Chains A and B, each alone.
Chain A
């Protein structure tokens, strides 16, 4: 079943004193996210990722187009009981403790008191907030706030979770924790739709990604399929090769970078790797490393974005 489907979703902002200038933040976005997958919405800042999420939650209104969430029209309030949303850089009530805040969030879903207590207690444990259970949120670090944000998003045991830049501003430990939460959600067959500009996170987590730039969809597909695209290159790092060896290697190298004694050569074709290695071995040049360079999501991203610019 489709978890999310956007159909030609468009958002224009009217700017200027007379509101005469139109800025298109999202341009006819059509996406389909399958149930149970981790879907990444990628793009640089201002690409339209947050706009997409806010449109789906009707925090802003679409100029045209529509969307369906879990098979229902996106403005159907009933669907909100089965979804969750973590906004970018979330902010909550400073004076509340995590326990109080989660209980409040749970009561907005109409959960009975016993269930509210049980779920908030459970999430506090799971997200490592036990020690700060009774500390007001104003004393929390950004990473801790993010954890509280995730906890409130999961309080209704949602089938579909929307996370807007969930790793933004977090330290490596915090990012790992969020990654683990997303993977745990996937294990439980939940659908995760998250936006990010941190490509390594998307590479680690996403089944499929969509790339947005200037509000337009640049590409959408399975991550593995995207990564397999294009030609792989091989990177050779040598130490102190002689001028003769370099002259021999040059015809095979698509790029050469010197850093002190070390030389980094990029061999464009896989078939030429063996020949270049033979030259290196024969000349007894010190070989530091041989790395196959796969086409990364970053390359894809830059290529897509570059094509627009």
Chain B
């Protein structure tokens, strides 16, 4: 119950941040602009709109996740509001989990708003929406899973570092996570067995975001295969459990002098 209390408080606090509205506004603007880009691309209007629209949701979602995620714990420490919470019957794990769920809720709401903007743009272009358009929900779901992992990463860094460094580390990890398959191929292609071992280890340890990007597929009206639905969901859940566990472990040991 206390987790829910902290989550709701975190959600209310984060939706007051102006940066959030700016980012959502920019995302909606870009989604709107994708209608324009579509209209000048003869024959591929919808592909352009879907690609640009979903990419906007992904990029701005990422920015929101990083901007707000890095402040998650560090702000409480910096403002000394943490004393107030931890002196009450609240475990550190409840605090971390509550903060995480609060931000996740913020991301879900924002993504839903951006998604509504995306479907509005699609409706404007097609003048109608059909069951075939539900495929885009799958892409948005995968974006959300990615963002949930990014917030988890930001949370871990937020427990050990300053907001600026946390943002840099999180962004770097996100970029690496999109190319982790290349990292493994690079190791496998090299002659050194040590390099192969290290790159293989990194491939499994670092988040693998490549499988979550299905924007091109759905833009070309391809269905998302079932194994991706199941695999990505389980992968994200497992990775999140590890991240949250790590954040709790770090936070349990943290002192507030």
Asked if B89 and A59 sit within 8 Å, CB to CB, the answer is no
Number of interface residues of A (CB under 8 A): 29
* Nearest-CB residue, chain B, relative to A50: B257
- Measured CA separation A109–B87 after assembly (Å): 11
Interface set, chain A 54-104, CB cutoff 8 A to B = 54, 57-61, 77-78, 80-81, 84-85, 87, 89-93, 95, 104
- Scan A5-25; emit 1 where CB is below 8 A from any B CB, else 0: 000000001000000000000
List the one stretch of B77-85, B103-111, B151-159 in contact with chain A: B77-85
Asked if B81 and A91 sit within 8 Å, CB to CB, the answer is yes
Minimum Cβ distance to chain B for residue A95 (Å):
6
Minimum Cβ distance to chain A for residue B119 (Å):
32
Among A13, A60, A87, max chain B CB count under 10 A is at A87
B contact residues around A152 at 8 Å (CB): 84
Asked if B86 and A87 sit within 8 Å, CB to CB, the answer is no
Asked if A87 and B16 sit within 8 Å, CB to CB, the answer is no
Asked if A109 and B88 sit within 8 Å, CB to CB, the answer is yes
- Measured CA separation A91–B85 after assembly (Å): 12
Asked if B85 and A108 sit within 8 Å, CB to CB, the answer is yes
For the A-B complex, the count of residue pairs with Cβ-Cβ distances under 8 Å equals 68
- Measured CA separation A13–B86 after assembly (Å): 21
- Measured CA separation A54–B5 after assembly (Å): 24
* Nearest-CB residue, chain B, relative to A78: B89
B contact residues around A91 at 8 Å (CB): 79-81
Asked if B87 and A93 sit within 8 Å, CB to CB, the answer is no
**CB within 8 A of A93: which of B2, B81, B90?**
B81
* Nearest-CB residue, chain B, relative to A83: B87
Asked if A107 and B5 sit within 8 Å, CB to CB, the answer is yes
Whether A46 is near chain B, meaning CB under 8 Å from some CB there, is no
B contact residues around A80 at 8 Å (CB): 87-90
Asked if A54 and B256 sit within 8 Å, CB to CB, the answer is yes
Asked if A77 and B89 sit within 8 Å, CB to CB, the answer is yes
Known: A59-B256, A80-B90, A95-B16. 13 other contacts (CB 8 A): A57-B83, A57-B86, A57-B87, A59-B83, A77-B91, A80-B88, A81-B89, A89-B80, A90-B84, A91-B81, A107-B5, A108-B2, A108-B5
9 closest Cβ pairs, A-B complex: A85-B87, A80-B89, A87-B83, A60-B255, A108-B88, A59-B256, A107-B5, A57-B87, A91-B80
| 26 interchain pairs, CB-CB under 8 A | A51-B257, A54-B257, A57-B83, A57-B86, A59-B83, A59-B86, A59-B87, A59-B256, A60-B256, A61-B255, A77-B89, A78-B89, A80-B88, A80-B89, A80-B90, A81-B89, A85-B87, A87-B84, A87-B87, A91-B79, A95-B13, A95-B16, A105-B88, A107-B5, A108-B6, A108-B89
What is the interface of chain A, defined by CB distance below 8 A to chain B?
13, 51, 54, 57-61, 77-78, 80-81, 84-85, 87, 89-93, 95, 104-105, 107-110, 152, 156
